[in-house]
Amino acid sequence: FTMKSFTDTIIIINKNRENQILDLHLHYLVLNEELSISFCLQIFIHDLTFELR
């Protein structure tokens, strides 16, 4: 077990963590966008049905 292999291991762990964080952030952005679209559609449908009365 050398210092180089230790350093390489730390770099790999950090890279994996970074990728996990990016993946979570991307997942959050997609969910957030879906919620926004859903909310806009609900308002639109509500306004549409209100005008039809």
pLDDT at 44 over 90: yes
Residues 2-42: pLDDT tens digits? 999 999 999 999 999 999 999 999 999 999 999 999 999 99
Nearest to 35 by CA among 12, 27, 19: 27
Instruction: State the residue range of the domain holding 26.
Output: 1-53
- Reading the block at residue 6, the tokens are 């230790």
Q: Which residue has the tokens 């859903």?
A: 38
pLDDT at 1 over 90: no
pLDDT value at residue 31: 95
pLDDT at 51 over 90: no
Counting the structural domains of the chain, the total is: 1
